[in-house]
Structure 1
């Protein structure tokens, strides 16, 4: 605080106060004067003087004014500290939310394009929708293997920061820990750099050359500062965020096929892809609703076990390849990890054996061994997550999801579901939203849209037949809902 007279040689108090406000705006100023001139008072107030005191000064009045100035400063400091704490908490929460969104996208959870756009904007993720992006899977080398879990998390955080610093030269990036045991970086070219090379005839070569240069620099800096090496798998460029799940599965498959690769390597998927005479056909059972993730999420254990058995029955009756086994392995580990993480646990803590292919490559070479592990993992997850669910919210959610998945016809609505679980519709909607983060009405619509997607892809049913099967009376309304969810109407989706 500065207490100053107005009349002084060289510079008067008002000039002094004006200069203080310019240089040190946090300082409180009080003016003393023997002149009760209103013009002085007006200018002092305009300069935001804390107080304006006339001489002769009353001591008690002066001390009271100083005390008020001190209290004012304390209030400012407390407000600033509260703001800093809030900002730190927001940044921490933002990291968790970004990671959760990344996991949902790479594990293939169905989101409407509008919802994804809102999330990207809300979380301030710098990669633009529909932008061409590339995914980099990062495996830490053996130099990091001796770290305990907290230390390893710190190393992963440092690796992410180094990636952000290196790649941000010409790229927007989004990075986090992947659902599987690696780090994940999604990157797109910044508009200025993309425009500078976009018209070049060798655009793709220039883009790859720059990406490789940054990847090598990334490895070098990690080695220099963290004393360890990395193995990188770089996917093909893809439309963001629509093809993230496909890019992730492709990158993860290459990691596994190469045994994780030795640290110090950079593997490009476009270099490893081989021409194939006929396209590989997926096993329909893997993707047929209700999916394994949905069955685990709603704790329908017997149905989940039946789903697993159906998948392996299909394997036995088909001429499967090694890639088919990878496909089954990835879908099942995705489901197990998703449900474990949703319950606040790490899947490898429930059973580590199937989540480290560096120790047991036979898991993805033998369908019998893979089936044995999947069934065992399902039993362990059920044992870990199913204790005492009766009369709890989790049990109610489980009932609701079973009812919805069992019938998507005309009678399926929030009210009919509420009647069946003996709760008021408003209360049921409230607890469902609180437990899952999704409204019950949106969940019913999402299940209908996923079922519609499957029927359009896998059957020859007419649009009006699908409309009726899903409980919609008006095909136009069904088409409107489908387009809102997926960006295309049913006929356009079927024709593409």
Structure 2
């Protein structure tokens, strides 16, 4: 996915090169045309150009002048000269500016294609070198900047460091940042593709992105980087002398480079990232405040959005937003009951409903994502412990994620993790030889799940071929809850759900739950909740 720029003051030649050569064979998705050096620079400023083909002699700045300007600000762009002048001085100056190829007019399409292929190959080789597995491994082993990380983390966490102490530590660590000079924070979020990496592969990918960012920013900005506790890659950037004199200059250059970084990560690492640039302020003032603002804003975009490029200005007062609770998370059957009963298909359907609602209605609400996480973990933990297991033994390495708390950057990440731990539990239950009491409890709960309206101690006992009295004792010993209490609890939960969410009459609800006398159902309901069913419904309305 490259972009090509052709520059010549002869429009016919530019059009022929742009339209007659099959650039798509080289994975070139866009060909830009410019008829002067000025037009070319305007295009390069806006678009991520990979290769530029230019004539030498043009009105105004020559092609060689143009290449010098490109080299000064966009050194990654490969430049090819296409000219009718076979002049030694031109060739010498072209070599000085690291021109990839020097083609003489007229030349065949194959020559032009070959030159561009060679230029693209050099780009690919360079990025592979920067982001290669071996280089990343060496960076981790040999160049781990532990002291730099420690100092930056101190600033992000709000530790006060005196002017003199900070100057000394910056000098000691060979960090060229200057106090009172403006800076900005750049946060990077790795997205779904990178979730497939495990173990040592994760820091390798992160180091590859660190290296790419440094390559792109280093000509204009001093850059200081770290990974924070939330899993974001944090960069403190400060303009170098000559990088512009206004915040608008720095902001435009930082945004342009951030966009090129997204493009490069997608092209060479095959993954996507979102980038957020904070407000600007004098270093090191308000580092913690800018960092906290940035993290909060990033979390507002924690849903399904991908490849974001966000820039923060002064923060306005937040507008009041309508808020409501999640529905499917609390509708019966509850998560904990489905897990207890081993109703895996029903559990999959409920999880789909929960996450579909989260995506559709609350994809930008970090609070609703946290609410979902804690409910799932609570139901999972309760069920694991009730089945007399240890979570750590069941989950292994995944237990660390649970202990460290939610660090999910997208809803899909939470969904994948939740389904994976539930799958581990299911496989454990399927593989483990069950003792008779545990098996009996599951049979009872399975029967009740499918026959709640007619279920009773007698009907359940008949189903499992046991004496009702013995069944009741075994069930209570295993679960801590009698069968009658269990049936009553489930029926009351179903009743409250129908009163809240359906228009069924009270007598219809009673009949549906197996109560032949509506008055008896009303009495039981009032004893449980202190209200009659109709009073309960009216209160909700």
Q: Same fold (TM over 0.5)?
A: no
The TM-score, its normalising length taken from structure 1, stands at 0.42
Greater RCO (CA < 8 Å, at least 6 residues apart)? 1
